[in-house]
Chains A and B, each alone.
Chain A
């Protein structure tokens, strides 16, 4: 029989997890902005809107230390970070566009090099997904093969019901364990009516056709037409649930410091700036082309997946109004 959980019990579940020593990350509002952040108590959970930044930072933080170094009398001592020591985590309230991105990213982070910083966090995190009722005109999850009801990437999936509270579907062992270990907070029901979800409007995208065009059009006047106005910031890449480029830098003093891994973006002019002074992507349209190619061609070539979940964040926050959905519709026309 399907399980349900009330709004109140969902918050009690968070309190109970925190008490057990689990780190709980969920949408939390501060001032004008909602972000996925560690919650101190259940009441802080705010599911009213799609968080400004995606949930990728739960697995791939904005910035993290990957080792530290100290100069001592016996030379330089290097201390590794142990990813096995990362805390057990529950990510709660991840919308389909955020939850679905995590398994897409697994491919690249476990390809020729196993990125234990990412992979350990994935192993240690249980994802509680949330069916989405708040699509706006930037959303296009259903145009890239997902939907507001898609539970991909979730261990446990919540669907809001008319009576208040949520229908809970356990999709993995992690999800089942979460329910059985907190059984008193869940109820069994035979009749819960899911709220109608808000399917994003607009043209469906034919990703196969788009990829076919991209295969043939590395050189096309369209890139200049679209992206001359691109300002070259990293807003789109940083808010994106699927963009995963990072840079590594050593910071500190001569006596001690850290090696840090932090978000990078292909829109930056310096992204492909070679030490020789040569920059193969020497103009903004070439950089924007890479963004589209990586998402809809290269990642597909390599892993058979699309690097976009249609969350619309890049559309909402592009300072110069570049609309990836409009770009893809244009490409689809051929």
Chain B
């Protein structure tokens, strides 16, 4: 990489003052919602101890609304905390949630699957220029150089369908779609090469299930992969079970995954899981013209049954 490219790579995408302004407005809104009793809790982000880090926070006391922040370190998809799997975390009553555009798609999907109801939510949308990539250098401001791969192709920077949207983004540069390019590279492979690629990647899997646990759509109360009597998928971190688990995961999320790429971010073994999600999303779009998370009413094609469904494949 030459110097010019490096310089371009490190150019901040938004000014630091943008995050300060969004944070201020967010705190004001959260304090108002809590003190007026509009909501019982606000699910947002608070700063981490280390520079350039942040994590989920559940605020119930208006006096603590000033702990909330928004920055490029706000990587989590907070929709997780509204799912059955995390039931009770935010208490009962109407809940406010801070949502980036990509997180909103997960909220829409969860509404379509009757997991949450729009009227129980107060959605605080935040206009987002992108978040830090996993393992990226967070000492520098957000730039093309340390941006998460998924954000390079983001089309939902300014969220739609929220109760309020905080922040107005400056024009952002077009960036090369690294994920789409990687997907194209995989699609150009022979099946044997692709099998080898995934075999090598899944060999590293240690079954920590971070991918499952951070996914807003992995809310099953009994995961097939935890069962050992009868055992459907080997529970041990070995090639056969690993491959089976990741295939089950990808298939179960096909047409439902909202593309937040939290699975890939959470994976401590750097397995490029979002490539599988994206591939399935594309298949679903081609086969059924369906895109997950665009509207909160449409169920994914693989989770509904209609009497006039094509059944010719059943022999």
Asked whether B56 lies within 8 Å of A321 as measured between CB atoms, the reply is yes
Complex partner residue of A233 from B55, B58, B210, CB under 8 angstroms? B210
Complex partner residue of A260 from B51, B207, B236, CB under 8 angstroms? B236
A115 on interface, CB distance cutoff 8 Å: no
- Within the complex, the shortest CB–CB distance from B64 to chain A, in Å, comes to 11
Given contacts A319-B266, A323-B49, contact A231 B214 (CB under 8 A): yes
Given contacts A53-B206, A234-B210, contact A322 B55 (CB under 8 A): yes
Complex A-B: 24 CB contacts under 8 Å: A31-B270, A33-B270, A63-B236, A229-B81, A231-B80, A231-B213, A232-B213, A233-B212, A238-B208, A239-B268, A247-B235, A249-B228, A251-B231, A260-B236, A260-B238, A263-B207, A263-B237, A283-B88, A315-B50, A318-B55, A320-B214, A323-B48, A325-B49, A326-B49
A2-44 near B? 1/0 per residue, CB < 8 Å: 0000000000000000000000000000011101000000000
Tell me which residues across on chain B come within 8 A of A232, comparing CB atoms: 85, 213
- Once A and B bind, how many residue pairs between them come within 8 Å at the CB atom? 109
From A265, A320, A325, A326, name the one whose CB has the most chain B CB atoms within 10 angstroms. A320
Asked whether B237 lies within 8 Å of A63 as measured between CB atoms, the reply is yes
A120 on interface, CB distance cutoff 8 Å: no
**Distance, CA A302 to CA B210, complexed state (A):** 31
Interface residues of A in 268-292 (CB under 8 A from B): 268, 270, 283-284
- Within the complex, the shortest CB–CB distance from A28 to chain B, in Å, comes to 12
Interface residues of A in 143-162 (CB under 8 A from B): none
Nearest residue, chain A, Cβ from B241: A251
Asked whether B270 lies within 8 Å of A321 as measured between CB atoms, the reply is no
Given contacts A32-B270, A317-B268, contact A228 B210 (CB under 8 A): no
Complex partner residue of A268 from B76, B206, B209, CB under 8 angstroms? B209
A244 on interface, CB distance cutoff 8 Å: no
Tell me which residues across on chain A come within 8 A of B214, comparing CB atoms: 231, 233, 319-320
A62 on interface, CB distance cutoff 8 Å: yes
Interface residues of A in 228-269 (CB under 8 A from B): 228-229, 231-235, 237-239, 247, 249, 251, 260, 262-263, 265, 268
Report B's interface with A, CB cutoff 8 A: 48-51, 53-58, 76, 80-81, 85-86, 88-89, 135, 204, 206-210, 212-214, 226, 228, 231, 234-238, 262, 265-266, 268-270
Complex partner residue of B209 from A32, A137, A234, A262, CB under 8 angstroms? A234
Tell me which residues across on chain B come within 8 A of A318, comparing CB atoms: 55
Asked whether B236 lies within 8 Å of A138 as measured between CB atoms, the reply is no
Given A249-B236, A263-B206, A321-B56, 14 extra CB contacts under 8 A: A33-B269, A233-B214, A235-B210, A235-B266, A235-B268, A238-B268, A251-B231, A251-B234, A251-B235, A268-B209, A318-B55, A319-B210, A319-B266, A321-B76
Complex partner residue of A270 from B80, B226, B266, CB under 8 angstroms? B226
- Within the complex, the shortest CB–CB distance from B246 to chain A, in Å, comes to 15
Asked whether B213 lies within 8 Å of A138 as measured between CB atoms, the reply is no
Tell me which residues across on chain A come within 8 A of B236, comparing CB atoms: 63, 249, 251, 260, 262
Nearest residue, chain A, Cβ from B205: A62
A52 on interface, CB distance cutoff 8 Å: yes
- Within the complex, the shortest CB–CB distance from B219 to chain A, in Å, comes to 12
A112-148 near B? 1/0 per residue, CB < 8 Å: 0000000000000000000000000110000000000
**Distance, CA A173 to CA B303, complexed state (A):** 64
Tell me which residues across on chain A come within 8 A of B209, comparing CB atoms: 233-234, 268
From B54, B86, B135, B206, name the one whose CB has the most chain A CB atoms within 10 angstroms. B206
- Within the complex, the shortest CB–CB distance from B205 to chain A, in Å, comes to 9
Nearest residue, chain A, Cβ from B81: A229
**Distance, CA A35 to CA B270, complexed state (A):** 12
Nearest residue, chain B, Cβ from A273: B226
From B50, B57, B81, B270, name the one whose CB has the most chain A CB atoms within 10 angstroms. B50
From A52, A229, A234, A322, name the one whose CB has the most chain B CB atoms within 10 angstroms. A229
A299-316 near B? 1/0 per residue, CB < 8 Å: 000000000000000010
Tell me which residues across on chain B come within 8 A of A249, comparing CB atoms: 228, 231, 235-236
- Within the complex, the shortest CB–CB distance from A237 to chain B, in Å, comes to 8
From A233, A262, A317, A319, name the one whose CB has the most chain B CB atoms within 10 angstroms. A319
Tell me which residues across on chain A come within 8 A of B89, comparing CB atoms: 228-229
- Within the complex, the shortest CB–CB distance from A7 to chain B, in Å, comes to 26
**Distance, CA A265 to CA B262, complexed state (A):** 21
**Distance, CA A320 to CA B226, complexed state (A):** 22
Asked whether B58 lies within 8 Å of A228 as measured between CB atoms, the reply is yes
Nearest residue, chain B, Cβ from A237: B208
Sort A-B residue pairs by CB-CB distance and give the 9 closest, nearest first. Answer: A321-B55, A319-B266, A234-B208, A233-B210, A233-B213, A231-B213, A326-B49, A317-B268, A229-B56
Nearest residue, chain A, Cβ from B263: A319
**Distance, CA A315 to CA B48, complexed state (A):** 10
Nearest residue, chain B, Cβ from A261: B236
From B228, B234, B236, name the one whose CB has the most chain A CB atoms within 10 angstroms. B236
Tell me which residues across on chain A come within 8 A of B235, comparing CB atoms: 247, 249, 251, 262
- Within the complex, the shortest CB–CB distance from A31 to chain B, in Å, comes to 7
**Distance, CA A191 to CA B81, complexed state (A):** 59
- Within the complex, the shortest CB–CB distance from B217 to chain A, in Å, comes to 14
**Distance, CA A118 to CA B74, complexed state (A):** 41
Given contacts A62-B206, A320-B76, contact A137 B266 (CB under 8 A): no
Tell me which residues across on chain B come within 8 A of A63, comparing CB atoms: 236-238
**Distance, CA A247 to CA B236, complexed state (A):** 9
- Within the complex, the shortest CB–CB distance from A305 to chain B, in Å, comes to 25
